[in-house]
Structure 1
Amino acid sequence: MLNKRISLIALGMLSATQALADDQSQSKGFVEDSSLKVLLRNAYINRDYKDGRADKAEWGQAAIGTYSSGFTQGTVGVGVDAFGLYALRLDGGKGRTGAQGIDFFKKGDSGNAADDLSKGGAAVKFRLSSTTLTYGDQMPVLPVLNYDNSRLLPESYTGTLITSREIKGLELNAGRFTAESRKSAEGRDSGGLKSINVLGGSYQFTEQFKAALYASDVEDVLKKQYVNANYVFPIDKDQSLTLDFNGYRTKLDDSYVRESGATGDDNKIWSLAATFVTGPHSFTLAHQRSTGDSNLGYPYGGYQKDQGRVGDGGNTILLANSYWSDFNAEDERSWQLGYGLDFGTFGVPGLSYNVAYVRGDNITTSTSDGGTEREIFNQFKYVVQSGPAKDLSVKLRSSILRVSQKSSEYNVSGNEVRVFVDYPINVF
């Protein structure tokens, strides 16, 4: 009887162990699992501002090389990640470069943008079972610290990040970063970040339901919390309805409020999007709402404190109504109607089109309330499916943004065009 109980306990322990992941046991070696990739990117952004503001445009060619080793075999695996970045300015200048919003090439003390820039970084990584600790230069992708890769070169951060996937469906993250490298400037600490601590995780409860909860603390700037819930309702073979909720709560430090000239310190912003997919078509309806007493609305991004940037990455805005405008002003409410089309069904695989109309109202500034803004967003994207240029992508994007006079303190009207050509090369 005792032996039977021991056998049952051992079987239970074995079953539990098998439910846990162990990526390190599958390691093939430092060299055997390594990869070297190069992304060639040609990018152009043009902003035709209204209301008297000078137009801005930047054009450049970039080469983004990333190396990732495998892990050495054994109980604790060791590896290395590294990247090298180079960008060449292709436009003629004439006062249109060095735009804060475009930010391909930062202006120097002379007031002119650099002709080119280069930088690199590296990190060492350790893996035990399915938990990895990485120290060094990284490009984190977390809801509260999300590096910006939507310009010519990407941002990067220096610090420590622990990622654990020991239980199937569960990912936990904890990290501390102490330097921020601006995407438009050389140097490891060109962003002016003191430190940011991040903690959180996501869990795939069922095949249809996933949720996430994260928090961050940017030293002397703010504390931020994030929540997400995503549920997919399967309807038919090629039909589904997805509900996606995202929300941030931000509390500015008193010292930052004084230094930046902000008024108020609290913001809450959330969005709920419903997307119905039927065959090649997708239809989106979304609502987003910002509340709180901070005139900065929802603060995120890096570098300029006087423009509400806080040092947590240019993509740290996982909200439905974020296009050219983020519709994140104080007290703003916004609604979106969106449509997407996959041309693969019509004999053109790799080609897609997206259009969205977003309208925001109830905007509060220091001089008025009840302001409005509206944006029409269009994007074509084509990815080459085969041949020597396989995976090369061309993205054409445009936005028409109109902001009421009452909201001019928050945003400015304009027309924007973006053209991105990305060609990824797998060296090995």
Structure 2
Amino acid sequence: MATHVSLILFLAVVAGFVLAGIGVDGYRRWEHPGSGLVAGYLALCGLIPIASLSFAVVNSETLPTLVFLGLWCLSTVVWFLFALQYTGSYTRQRPLLAVVLLVPSLVLVPWLVEPVGSAGATASALSAVALSTYSAFALIGSLLVFRSTVLDEYISLSSGSVLVVLGIAPSLTVTLFGQLTDQDVTLLSASIFAAGFGISAVAAVLAVFRYGIFDPVPTAGLVGERAMLRETDDLVAIVDTDDRVLSLNERVRATVVEESTPLGTDIERVLGHTSQRFAERDTIDLDTARGVRQFDSQVSQLTDGHGRELGAIVSLRDVTDRELRKQRLEVFNRILGHNIRNEVSVITANAEVVADQTEDDLATRLDTAIDAADSLDSQDESPANRGDSRGRRATTVRTRRVPQRPH
């Protein structure tokens, strides 16, 4: 029996070396968001079964157990941080965050040093909470990866599933191994231990060499959405169903809103109009730091998965310069059309006078010229070219009389 247990644990150690080797190799080659974290996670997961060899070398169980559980706690924290960064949920990570997340693991020290007595009972209760916390880190990280796999079509379900297995299998293995092991390692607990890390090693190989763990990175999607709202020239405000402002992009604060305006303020007090009015009007005037400007307004409703309304996104695009160019173009078109009609009228009138006093063949040519001028004049009078004709003044065309040639 002992030989079988030792052989099975040896297989777990081999799987640990595979995990650690992939992690070390990946740290040297990968240059993607979260690559350092997942490389560290694989290396730590590989060290867990390797550290189990210390139980056979060290007489005391306290130090090996502390190293064993410490590596597991650290690996779950690293996996959790990787999931946050890989999915884009939280990318501005600092080493202090990892230190804070590792603080609960400190209660394991008094629990292992003094397992009996009143202090030991308290430490035991706290250690149970701490171990549950780190199990939750592994579970939450895996759920974030799974959620990103489901929502992002460019990540295949197979590659996402492999990542989820890679995140949850080591933690589940350590938890079951600890529950089934009392004093001695049994054949069942050793088998679960070896199988769990064997599955983790296979998942790591598939994730790295088969699916390319960092070929599609969902971080760009979420970070891109946030940057799009932050960097766009449009004014964007998010409101709830009661028209209270939940979020404003930097453009709104730089253009319209004072820095001291708190979130939760009614949008009418912030932008001067309700979201309903923004939805009803195509173009609306706003008082800005540059004076009164015109904006195209668009309101998009926000709903949950069941179609219930949550709020709205109000997007405003500055069209002042566009409207000014449009007005100038309309004025230019009116002036140009006015001048063309005047010149065409002059040409037509003089051509008619000449046609009445010339021979038939030349008169025919002049009639053709007159018809062409009339056609040009009628095209200028068409609705497509006329635009707004209000305010135009009637013009008088003076014709020049051509002296009649003697017969």
TM-score range, shorter chain: under 0.3
Q: Which has the higher helix share?
A: 2
The TM-score with structure 1 as length reference comes to 0.18
Higher strand fraction (1 or 2): 1
When Rg is computed on C-alpha atoms for both structures, the one with the higher figure is: 2
